[in-house]
Structures are given as C-alpha cells and as structure tokens.
C-alpha cells in the first residue's frame, strides 16, 4: 500500500535499482489522452543518470516500453503499464555494503522494518524508484496540458549557499534546461557547477532547494480539510528521496510578515476577483484560486559520499565506511523532474476529483 | 472524501463553525483503549478559544459527548463518535461578510469550487473544524502512550520575528503550558505576548512557527516510497488551517550543510546502531530509526483582521472590508494542540500499519 | 476502517443499538442537493422497528437531526452529519446474554476478534446500525433522482417458501408499501403475514429473498475489473446484517440456460442499441448498459429466537438459551429499505466516478 | 482506480488480451514469503487456455517473470511485479468485431463508458485479465499457508443442469484436478465433458456454479459493518468475468429454513465453543468463527458463441453476428483457479487487517 499514489489518478510503482526492471501502472488516466512514447522518454531522460558530468555516471538508457492501456495512439481508460529495464546493473559493486549501515541512508531503517533488505544500491529506497513516477506523470502532464492548459515547471533554486534569482511567474522550461544544473539563473548556475565539482573532488555532497510553479490551474481544485491542495502537494513532494521540507507561497518567510502585509487583496477584473499579490501561492482554504501555484522543496545533501564515516555493522560493531560506486554529489538537477512529477500527479488527481462533482 | 484522514486509524470529521455541532467519528481505534472524557476534554480545552486574552474571545465550552464505541470505560473496536455542540453561535455577526470575499480566506475558493458557500464564520474552513481532529487524536495519544510509550509535544517556536530557544530533546509539556503563548522560552514568551497585543490593537495579525517532537517511536514505522513518514506527517500538518510550510529534522536549514556535515554517523550501543547526531529528524528512507522525530510548521498571519483591506463583492465590484467579530490576532498558541493532533493521528496510523506486517 | 463505505460518495456510520445514539457522516455528497428532513425521516420510518405488528415492538422514534453540511436547505459540499438518539434503550433486558454466546449471532466472533464485546443488544452487529446507512442513502436518493432520474426500489420477493409474483419492470413503491410485509403480491402478502405470526407464536423465525431494481441508470456506470457494478452492488448488499447471498440479472437460475438462450440480443432503436431481453440485469462487463438493473438478496432467518437452543457460556460450559427481548421473527420487511440504501449508496458512488472521467 | 484490489494486501493488475503483456503489482505482501516461480507458474497453468480440449485452444505459454520485490528467494516487503507476455496474439482475428456489439459482452458498455474501445478480443474485459489476479494470489496462497495453515480450494459444482455431489468439508485438490472439468464427482464430470463438447459442436455455450472452501481460517477475521468477510469475498468473486451470483454458507437455500433449523448451535470442546452445524458458512456477524468458510458462485454461459445472433453495429444498424475465433464453450473449469484467487486475495487482506489490531 506504500507504492500506490492518488485516489482517482492512481499510480502504482515497482522495482529496485538493481533488480530486473522498474516501472509503473497508471490506473485512472482518462480515455483519449494521446500517448507519444517520445514525450514520455523525454521526461525520463531528464531524470536519467549520466546525462551530464554533474550527476552520477551510471549509464542507463531508461528506455520505456508501454505494456497496456494504449490503443491506436491514445489511452483507452484501462491501466497503462510502463516498463523500464535496468541496463547497467553491477550488483557486485555493492557487496561491500552488505554488512554495514550507510549513515543517513535507508539501510538500517529498512532492516528494522522488514527484518531483511536488498542491499544492492539501496533497493527500493534508491532514486531509481522515481522512474515509474516520472513515466506516470508524463501522462498526467499531457492530459492536464491538453484539457486545462496547465503547465508545471520546476527548477533548481539554490544549491548549498548559492541562491538563484528566479521569477516563478516568468521562468521557462528553456531557461531551466539551458544548464545541466537546471538553475535558470546563469550566474548562479556557473557557480553551482563549480561547487558540485568541488564537492565531488572532496568526497562530499551538496543539498539545496527546488522551486516549482503550476500555471493555468483553474479556481476550485483541492478540497477542504484533509485533502487541501497544499497538503497533498506537500505529501507528494515530501515522498521524494532526500526531501526534508516543503512550503507553498510565501511559506516560512511569510510568517515574518503581518496579516496586513501578507494578505492578498482582491481587485475586480472583468467582474471576477483577481489577486493583486500572491503570497497565498495560488491556494486559499486548501483550494486553488486561479493564480499560479508555486513553492519550494528542500533536498538534503546526498547521503552516499566517498569520504570516510563512522558507522556500525549489522553485527553491531563500530566500523568506518567510505562508499564506492557511482553517486550524485548533488541530487538537485535530477530532483527537478521528480518534483514536477509529484506536482503533476497530484494536480491530475485533484482535477479528476473536481470533475466528479461538477 | 475530503474529511476522512488515515488508512487504518481513520477519522472522519464534520461540522461548521456556526452550525449545530462539530465532531468526529474514529474508525479503527484498537479495542481496549481506556477512554476518560476528562482527558479528551483537556486536549480540547487547549484548542479552545477564550482560554486566554491572547486568543479570540469567543466563549465556547466545547463540551465533548461520546456517542458510541466505548463500553465500560474502554473502546470496543467499533467507531467512536464524539460530538461538541456549538454554544456561542452568533450567525448574525457574519451578515456583513455575506456578499464579500475576505482576502486570503476561503470565501472565494469555496464559492468557485461548490457554487455556494456557508458564509457564517468561514463554515468548514474555520479553525473550529479542528475540534474533531483534536478529539480523535486524544484517543491516539492514549493508545500510543499506553502501548508504545510515545509522547508527542508541540510548542510555539517563533512568532513574527521573535524566536524562542527551545531544545526539542528536553522541552516538557509543563514548560509549554506555563505561558498562554505556548512558547517555552520565558523571555521570548513575554515579548510574544506584547507583540500579539500590539497586533490586536493595530488591527493586524501575526504568524509564526510551531515546533514539534515525537519521542519513543520505535524503529520501523513509516513506509517506503509514497507513504514515507515525513510525507504523511507533512500532509497531516499542512492540512491545518493557515499552515503553509513543513520541515522535518534539519529541514530547509540542513540544505546549507554538506553531506559530511549533515550525515548522522552511527555508533554501536549495546550492539545496536544509535545515531550520534539527528539531522535526519528520526526518519531515514521514510522510516523511523528510533530517534526523536522532530520538525517545524509555518503558520501564516491570521487572514481575518480588523484593518481595512481592498477586496471584491460577489457581484464583482471593488469594495473595502474591515472584519468585525472576534478573531485571533495570532493563531500560533492554539495551533500547538492542532499540530500535536495531526502528528498523533499520523503516528497511530503508521503504528497500526506496522503491526499489520509483524 | 470497517464502517466507511464508498470512494467518492462516502458514508461513515457509527453507533450501537443500546448506546446513546446512532448516525452517519456523509462525505462527498455534491453541493446543491436539496435536503428535506421529512424525506430522510420517511426513509428512516420504513426501516424503524414497531411500524407494524410484523416486526419487533421496540418503540423508537428514530428522529433524525442534521448537524452539518446543510445551509439554506441544500448541501454545501461539506460533510453532512446526521444523528438519531436511541430512545427506547433497555440495557438491563440483555443482562441474561452477558455470559453466553447466542447461536448464529455475532457474540462469539466479536469476542474472538476484539477480546471484548458490548453485549447489549448485539452492539454494532445489530440491525440498528443500518439507521446511518438509510439516512445517508436518503441524500443519495435525492441526488440520483434529481440529476439522473434514477429510481431505486426493493420489495419482499419471498418469505420462507411463499414466493411472490413480482415484475421488476413495473412494480411500484405504492404496491410495495401497500402491505406491512412489503411484498407487492397481495395473495403472497397475506400468506406471509400468517407465516410470520405463526413463527412468532412458535418461538421461531423466517428468512427469505428481497428483490430490487434500479431504473434510469444511464449506460457507462461501473468500472472494469475489480469495481464492476455487480461486484460493488454485491458487496454493499452482502454487508447488510443476515444477508448471505446476492445475484444480479438471471443470477443462479441463469446458469441453467445455454449461451444462445441467455444472451441478450441488441436491436437498433433510434440508431442506438437496445436490449431485447435483460438476462444481464442491466450490467455487461461490469458496466451499466441503460437497461434496468435488478437482482435479489438472500436473508437468513433471524438468529435471535425465543425457543431453547444449545450453546456455550463465555466460561466454556454447555448451556441452553432462550432469548428474551423484542425481536423480529422475520427481518424481510425491514430489510427492504436497507437493500435500497446499499443500492443507492453504491450507485451514487459510481455516478460520481463516472462524472470524474467525463 | 478500478484495477486495484485490497486495502493492505493490494494488487494492481494491467494488460489486455491482445496487447503486449498482462501482469500485476502486488503491494503489501509481507516480507519473508518464500517465492518459487514454479509454484506461481503452476497456478497460472491451471488458469491457462489450451490445457485441455474442453477449453479455448488459444495456445499461451503464460510464462511469468518476476520483476521486483524478491531477493534471495523471498519477498522483501516492497512491491512484487510479475509479467506475462502475450504470445499467441492474432489481432487480425478480431477485425470482424470492430464495428459490431457482441450480445452480452462488454463491447457496448465499454464504448458507452469511455467513448472508445479496444475491440481486440475484448481488451480488458477478457478473462485474460485474470492472469494478474492468479499470479498475485499465488503469493497470498503461500503466505496464508505458511503462517496460518489456510487452504483455499474451489471446484466445479454444476455445469448447466449437471450437478456434482461434493462435500466441501472433505474434497481435495487431487480430486478436483483429476478431471479437466475440475468437477470432483467422477460421474458428473463425465457427463459435463459430454455436455460441453455438445455445446461446442452446436455453436452454443454453458454456464454453471463453482463451489469453494477456505479451511483453517482462525476466528476473528473480517470486520463489522461494511467490510464483513462475506461482503468482501462476494465483491472479489463477483468481480470475475461472467460471475452473476454469490452465496455463502447455506445461501439462498438457507432462506427456506426456519431459525430453529438454520441456527448453528455451539457445543463446548476443550472449553471453546465449536459449531455443531455450519449453515453460517464459517462467518457470523461478518467475522470468521474458526469453521470452514464455504460458498458458491454463479457463472453465466459464455457470451461469445459461434451461432448467429441479432445485434447492432456501431453505426446503429441491425445486423447478424456469428463469432469466429477460439472461445471457451464453458468457462467453468478455468473459473476454478480464478475463484480461488479472489478468495485468497480477500483472506490475505483480512489477515493483515486483523494483524494490525493485535
């Protein structure tokens, strides 16, 4: 029950980083959504390792195969299963991790939970699990775009202490993709490249913040009380590996404003209320108001680093670990399509919910 | 489907601020949990308006009545329904809000969603809705305490720019409750009182940050992928009125550390791994590790303020609004038991899930 | 999690037969459904004990109070809570059942499950639990009728070996309600009255079959695979106390036909396919086809009887039990509104699901 | 949301009969269940077409591949994905069905629901969809057997008017599998063979009844109110293609008994209550009592027959159809492992639920 997300637009992901395959079953995608493998593949390629020297050098083609639910180029309304074979498995590369708990990784907690674990590459806790999310979200992206004109975009807002200047109202996908850092601020991007390479050289890693925006969401999505839009967006994004914080609109910084400063006045525009400012982040009372929905997510520095760290073996003895293998010194660039995926899946779910009642 | 929370420990809340009653049905509370009305009432009293001069002066007894699921002082395993009558209704007090959208409130979004709304006091978007959550969480608190020794505690960490110094490892309920601010830092508490009173006098409002900790959670709660403990805790807390951000462990600040600084080394203690530091906030790979789970939530300044604000009428005309009625100039002190409630409900749900598999 | 039904039109029921109250929270009822307490009350009165000499003589007013979710005579889209106080409690009347397991009742199974039980009148296993279902279904009935013109009707088809002749295509609510037996076949109804009274006199009880029809359901409701309309209707009806069988369309009898006899040919009518026969019961491939949906449900004879029966005490000793108290010698007449309730709740849920995708 | 079954032991199936593959993701299988591909394959082989001359001659190897969730021969607690490639696709064989609605099949209802359909072999409404259910249930079977000693068995009870004499308390898998009919009554089995072959020769088809039993289920599984064991078993079984009726214990026949005849007296055995008879079918108040759980399911005659039938084209014109292709003249023998699968999946789910609370 842990790998199923959504109530109406529902994805069920599967697969370990070093098993035969990863993938997803999308149940609840409306019928008639045009499906182009190339579009899904393009989203997967943004998530893929090895795409630039900034990220892990695992070489994985991540070629997606559609197994069901598509007929004559469009969804039929039945489950869409998508499969990506794991190509560049090197299970032996993880033998040195079999008997030791990597600090701040899921090794110990999985063993505590299940009484056993698949030590190869983190198994299910690996970022490779997000392949299924991204593939499923590609369907959501197409449907939300075609039917509602919704556009979802994320970017690297900050790495370590290097902050990008990004206007969430105007930033474009082209600006984001212009740099392998996915930071659309050119100056910051350059410094981020240097910082990531320095971290790699020193056997260390960096964290940071991803910004996101959803444009074109009509007023009325989201639900009162438990399934507020910010609650469900938060859950989706916080379920990503290494994510430790989420905020919408003015977020934590907005708590330093007074009500008079923070409230978003309405003005009439063509007889309709429009927000003058948007500290709300496009959501009021848990429901969208027609303004851009934006926020930020915190990603901790990658846990797997080459430097030596103190830890404990499964037998309970103190030891020292220095990770081998190919790892991201900074997950931020690859986290961008993952954040988009969770925003898209959440919005698609709420779009269907709203359709149910109207 | 919007007012049901949890998968195994499931609460269904109901009620508007100015209707006949608010309440909750708890389905999935284990049998045999001792139920003392006085304990539930005590939690409700912490949430109640009128408890100090700092919060809204609505006088509500908030007397809880148990309607089902309890026999001879303990739960039977069947649904526990709890009811709180609304005593101090003054629906007429809201007539001036009938035709106008309050800025940054749920007036416009509810109307956009449902095509109608109950304008009396915010209806379902009112903080009064949380009565049901707190009552349901009182059962979770008792069960988690009796069976696992889990203790959940929240406090006011910051109001506006007044930051409390609080050690999440040692802070006690007595220290929190010592001040009507619920800030356990005595100096900060005094300045917070002054700031809130100043805000009230000037027709303004303040936001801030609530800190929380859950002690005694064993290793193994939480699930991989979508239902990670931080994702579900985040969803629960972000579903509270006025909450706009959530972080666990080191959160956003932790993204300014490197991996080497941020990782939590293990040391062996009685043959078991123990965290030397706890930047993880007690959760790794989405699963608890046996260390305290802690984090913070951002609450925006109260939207309803006495000062004049520009807004629009339901007919689409520009107007100016100055709210009347009795409102909290700062929701933070009352948000404390609400945050505890969502932490408790989420942990109880995950405790049951873990029991299912062992 | 056991007392919540439905995915989008969701009811959460609560209450024991001899506790303070029973009731329901309806979450997911669309906004704008007109609510008349008298209509809900009328459905509850059909379910109520004491309405005729045929059923149990417990006198319960079953007066419904609406606690939330209704404003100015219509639903607001937020949860509708409804409460019925238990008036005619005589807990002492059940003291003789405290230490003994009634045969074919839920006494032993509840104790085995929960380690404790509320022996008063069966607690949650009592038919009194269905008050919440019927109240919630009254909203579904109104909405389905107003928006889709759907009419749901049930009746007593058979009691013991007395079979009524009823045409599911033409039977009316007036014909059903003309007799306290709720069997619309006048001759059968008279014989059923005599059979039930004879059973009461001899300290015995009778079972039988309830027939049902849903008219006006458009083509397209229901979903492939697990949530087929007959599967969800079956679950709903089989969840009623004493129900041990469910069939749709030709059901078990249809298995004695060949494919050529059983298949429903299509003919064109105004360019649309129409069924010539309806052995399918209005559902093909789990999805409605626009023809009447009809079927039957089996209700076992009431377990609680005045005659002596062999059983066992909670201490594990053999004993003999003769039930006291006021019991239905035949549950069939009162089962009719309960079956309607489950059909209505299930259809409302599937109507919303279909709306979600169109 | 339509292809996901179960709350804790959750399967998500996918795939069309003439697409690339069918399969399942099992989420919530406990860790440590031994997985042998041969055992899963054996269950699939019982479901497979072409296994005898009685069933459709489609030749499908149905070779299962495990994609995730298994490590060193046992489940890890993460999702187990299983894939079966479709080998014997002949999509062209269905071209004559593209523009016509087969009577009593899902052609019209799917088109009405989705506005489009995959006409090849019935798409998702095909019995081929059950491959995923049977594969997932093989894990449930292993777990229930290893941990609880539960055995689930089904058989052909009746085909058309040929009734087998089968004792649900004693029938064995060997007796069931002794005949390709899966009717353990040798005499009836012989007559069923002849009847099915006669039906095939005459271009007709037959229906019937499958019996089932679950032995070794402890007291306490199932939940009050909506998720009664018979309700969930009924939903599971009624979700199978062609199933139109379900009954548990004495079922419809039991409604012809009086309460005194039908009730199951308890006697003390080793200080524990034991049922003298078992008209309850092992379930009382929706909860298991420790006696065998048994019942029956009705399967209508196969809709696809070679004889000519009146129907309508997608353009709305009357026409005559005679199906080509390879079809089962009687689905009953292959329905046996499908019924077992739904019983197993439902019991595994309720076993986990009960574990959650104890």
Q: Residue A42 belongs to a domain with what CATH number? A: 3.60.150.10
Range name among B167-176, C1-10, C321-330, C338-347 with the lowest pLDDT average: C321-330
- pLDDT at site D60: 60
- Please tell me if residue B51 touches chain C, with a CB cutoff of 8 Å: no
Q: Is the pLDDT of residue A99 over 60?
A: yes
Question: Within 10 Å of residue B312's Cβ, how many Cβ atoms?
Answer: 23
| D358/B355 Cβ within 8 A | yes
- pLDDT at site D325: 64
Residue whose pair of structure tokens reads 């002492």 in the numeric block: C92
Q: Is the pLDDT of residue C90 over 60?
A: yes
Please write the tens of the pLDDT for every residue from B20-35.
999 999 999 999 999 9
Nearest to D8 among B224, B356, B358 (CB): B356
Of the pLDDT bands very low, low, confident and very high (cuts 50, 70, 90), residue C56 is low
- Please tell me if residue C74 touches chain B, with a CB cutoff of 8 Å: yes
Residues 6+ apart with CB under 8 A from B233: B246, B248, B293, B295, B342, B343, B346
- In terms of residues, how long is chain C? 358
Q: How far is A139 from chain B (nearest CA, A)?
A: 19
How much is the mean pLDDT over chain A?
93
Please write the tens of the pLDDT for every residue from C135-158.
999 999 999 999 999 999 999 999
Of the pLDDT bands very low, low, confident and very high (cuts 50, 70, 90), residue A205 is very high
Please write the tens of the pLDDT for every residue from B195-228.
999 999 999 999 999 999 999 999 999 999 999 9
- pLDDT at site C87: 82
Of the pLDDT bands very low, low, confident and very high (cuts 50, 70, 90), residue C325 is low
Question: Within 10 Å of residue D252's Cβ, how many Cβ atoms?
Answer: 23
Q: How far is A178 from chain B (nearest CA, A)?
A: 24
CA distance linking residue B256 with residue A160, whole number of Å = 5
Between A127 and D294, residue with greater pLDDT: D294
Average pLDDT over residues C64-90: 92
Q: Which of residues 123-152 of C touch B (CB under 8 A)?
A: 123-124
Please write the tens of the pLDDT for every residue from D45-69.
998 877 777 766 555 678 999 999 9
Of the pLDDT bands very low, low, confident and very high (cuts 50, 70, 90), residue C89 is low
- pLDDT at site D129: 93
Between B88 and A252, residue with greater pLDDT: A252
Average pLDDT over residues D297-307: 94
Site from D18, D21, D35, D67 to mutate, A interface, most A CB atoms within 10 angstroms: D67
Buried b (16+ CB within 10 A) or exposed e, B248-268: bbbbbebbbbbbbebbbbbeb
C248 phi and psi angles, rounded to 5 deg:
-120, 145
- pLDDT at site B328: 82
Q: Which of residues 173-212 of B touch C (CB under 8 A)?
A: none
Indicate the SS3 state at residue B238: helix
Indicate the SS3 state at residue B275: strand
Classify strands B80-85 and B64-66 as parallel, antiparallel or unpaired. antiparallel
Q: Which of residues 239-258 of C touch D (CB under 8 A)?
A: 239, 241, 243-252, 254-258
Please write the tens of the pLDDT for every residue from A23-63.
999 999 999 999 999 999 999 999 887 777 776 655 567 89
Site from A28, A76, A91, A98 to mutate, D interface, most D CB atoms within 10 angstroms: A76
| Most confident of the following: B338-342, C307-311, D97-101 | B338-342
Question: Within 10 Å of residue D285's Cβ, how many Cβ atoms?
Answer: 29
Average pLDDT over residues D328-350: 96
- pLDDT at site B1: 52
| Token representation of residue C4 | 């919540």
- pLDDT at site A279: 98
How much is the mean pLDDT over chain B?
93
Question: Is the pTM higher than 0.95?
Answer: yes
- Render C174-198 in DSSP notation, one character per residue: HHHHTSTT--S-HHHHHHHHHHHHH
Please write the tens of the pLDDT for every residue from C99-121.
899 999 999 999 999 998 777 76
Q: How far is B72 from chain A (nearest CA, A)?
A: 32
| B357/D30 Cβ within 8 A | yes
The CA angle B159-B164-B169, to the nearest 5 degrees, is: 125
CA distance linking residue D344 with residue D142, whole number of Å = 10
| B226/A4 Cβ within 8 A | yes
CA distance linking residue B150 with residue D237, whole number of Å = 42
- Beta bridge partners of residue A295, listed in sequence order: A212, A248
Average pLDDT over residues C56-63: 69
Q: How far is C16 from chain B (nearest CA, A)?
A: 6
CA distance linking residue B143 with residue B149, whole number of Å = 9
Q: How far is B5 from chain C (nearest CA, A)?
A: 11
Residues of chain D neighbouring C12 (CB-CB closer than 8 A)? none
Of the pLDDT bands very low, low, confident and very high (cuts 50, 70, 90), residue C2 is confident
Percentage of residues of chain B with pLDDT beyond 90: 82
Whether B284 contacts A106, CB under 8 Å? yes
Question: Within 10 Å of residue D202's Cβ, how many Cβ atoms?
Answer: 14
CA distance linking residue D118 with residue D341, whole number of Å = 26
| C287/D2 Cβ within 8 A | no
| Count of structural domains, chain C | 1
- Beta bridge partners of residue A75, listed in sequence order: A70
Q: Is the pLDDT of residue A180 over 80?
A: yes
- pLDDT at site D194: 97
CA distance linking residue C187 with residue C120, whole number of Å = 38
- pLDDT at site B244: 98
The shares of helix, strand and coil residues in chain B, as percent rounded to the nearest 5, are: 35, 25, 40
- Smallest CA–CA distance from D7 into chain B, residue: B7
- Render B204-226 in DSSP notation, one character per residue: --B-EEEEEEEESPPTT-S-SGG
Name the residue range of residue D205's domain: 4-356
Average pLDDT over residues C69-90: 90
Average pLDDT over residues D191-202: 96
Of the pLDDT bands very low, low, confident and very high (cuts 50, 70, 90), residue B90 is low
Nearest to D254 among C125, C244, C265 (CB): C244
Does ipTM surpass 0.85 in this model?
yes
Whether C131 contacts C15, CB under 8 Å? yes
Average pLDDT over residues D3-22: 94
- Please tell me if residue D19 touches chain B, with a CB cutoff of 8 Å: no
CA distance linking residue C201 with residue B103, whole number of Å = 70
- pLDDT at site D55: 65
At how many degrees (to 10) do helices B130-148 and B37-47 cross?
A: 130
Whether A311 contacts A101, CB under 8 Å? yes
Q: What is the SS3 string spanning chain D? A: CCCEECCCCEEEEEECCCCCEEEEEEECCCCCCECCHHHHHHHHHHHCCCCCCCCCCCCCCCCEEECCCEECCEECCCCEEEEEECCCCCHHHHHHHCCECCCCCCHHHHHHHHCCCCCHHHHHHCHHHHHHHHHHHHHHHHHHHHHHCCEEEEEEEEECCEECCCCCCCCCHHHHHCCCCCCCCHHHHHHHHHHHHHHHHCCCCECEEEEEEEECCCCCCCCCHHHCHHHHHHHHHHCCCCEEEEEECCHHHHCCCEHHHHCCCEEEECCEEEECCCCCCCEECCEECCCCEEEEEEECCCCCCCCEEEEEECCCCEEEEECCCCCCCECHHHHHHHHHHHHHHHHHHHHHHHHHCC
- pLDDT at site D121: 66
Of the pLDDT bands very low, low, confident and very high (cuts 50, 70, 90), residue B56 is low
- pLDDT at site A121: 66
Residues of chain A neighbouring B290 (CB-CB closer than 8 A)? 112
Whether D210 contacts D299, CB under 8 Å? yes
If we measure between CA atoms, which residue out of B72, C134, B21, B319 comes closest to residue A273? B319
| B14/C80 Cβ within 8 A | yes
CA distance linking residue D10 with residue D316, whole number of Å = 41
| Token representation of residue A357 | 């009642």
Dihedral angle sign, alpha carbons of residues B232, B234, B237, B241: negative
Q: Which of residues 280-339 of D touch C (CB under 8 A)?
A: 280-281, 283-290, 298-305, 307, 309-312, 315-318
- DSSP conformational letter for B313: B
Task: Find the helix or strand (DSSP H, E) in which A311 lies.
Answer: strand A308-312
Of the pLDDT bands very low, low, confident and very high (cuts 50, 70, 90), residue B293 is very high
Whether A156 contacts A332, CB under 8 Å? yes
- pLDDT at site C91: 58
Nearest to B356 among D78, D224, D355 (CB): D355
User: C203: buried, middle or exposed (CB in 10 Å: 19+, 13-18, 0-12)?
Assistant: middle
Site from C258, C306, C330 to mutate, D interface, most D CB atoms within 10 angstroms: C258
- pLDDT at site A1: 53
Of the pLDDT bands very low, low, confident and very high (cuts 50, 70, 90), residue B12 is very high
- Please tell me if residue C37 touches chain B, with a CB cutoff of 8 Å: no
Q: Is the pLDDT of residue A230 over 80?
A: yes
Between B324 and A356, residue with greater pLDDT: A356
- Please tell me if residue B22 touches chain C, with a CB cutoff of 8 Å: yes
Nearest to C20 among B22, B67, B74 (CB): B67
| A251/B238 Cβ within 8 A | no
CA distance linking residue B260 with residue C207, whole number of Å = 73
Residues of chain A neighbouring C350 (CB-CB closer than 8 A)? none
| C226/D252 Cβ within 8 A | no
- pLDDT at site C121: 66
Q: Is the pLDDT of residue B231 over 60?
A: yes
């Amino acid at each position: 029950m842990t790998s199923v997300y959504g109530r109406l637009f529902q994805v069920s992901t599967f697969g370990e980083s070093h098993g035969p395959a990863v993938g997803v079953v999308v149940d609840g995608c409306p019928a008639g959504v045009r499906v182009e493998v190339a579009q899904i593949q393009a989203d997967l390629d943004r998530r893929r390792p090895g795409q630039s020297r900034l990220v892990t050098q695992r070489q994985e083609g991540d070629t997606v195969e559609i197994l069901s639910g598509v007929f004559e180029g469009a969804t039929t309304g039945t489950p869409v299963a998508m499969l990506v074979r794991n190509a560049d498995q090197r299970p032996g590369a993880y033998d040195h991790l079999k008997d030791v708990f990597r600090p701040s990784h899921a090794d110990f907690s999985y063993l505590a939970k299940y009484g056993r674990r698949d030590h190869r590459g983190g198994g299910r806790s690996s970022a490779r699990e997000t392949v299924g999310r991204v593939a499923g979200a590609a369907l959501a992206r197409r449907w939300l775009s075609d039917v509602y004109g919704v556009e979802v975009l994320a970017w690297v807002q900050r790495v370590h202490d290097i902050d990008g200047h990004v206007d969430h109202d105007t930033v474009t996908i082209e600006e984001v993709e212009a740099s392998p850092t996915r930071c659309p601020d050119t100056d910051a991007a350059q410094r981020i490249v240097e910082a990531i390479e320095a971290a790699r050289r020193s056997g260390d890693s960096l964290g940071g913040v991803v910004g996101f925006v959803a444009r074109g969401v009509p007023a009325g999505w989201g639900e009162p009380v438990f399934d507020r839009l910010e609650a469900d967006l938060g859950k989706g994004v916080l379920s990503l590996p290494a994510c430790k914080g989420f905020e919408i609109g003015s977020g934590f910084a907005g708590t330093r404003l007074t009500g008079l400063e923070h409230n978003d006045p309405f003005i009439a525009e063509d007889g309709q209320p429009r927000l003058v400012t948007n500290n709300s982040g496009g959501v009021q009372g848990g429901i969208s108001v027609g303004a851009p929905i934006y926020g930020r997510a915190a990603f901790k520095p990658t846990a797997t680093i080459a430097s030596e760290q103190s830890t404990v073996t499964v037998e309970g003895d103190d030891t020292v670990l220095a990770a081998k293998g190919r790892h991201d010194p900074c997950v931020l660039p690859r986290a961008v399509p993952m954040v988009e995926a969770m925003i898209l899946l959440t919005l698609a779910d709420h779009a269907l919910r709203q359709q149910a009642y109207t």
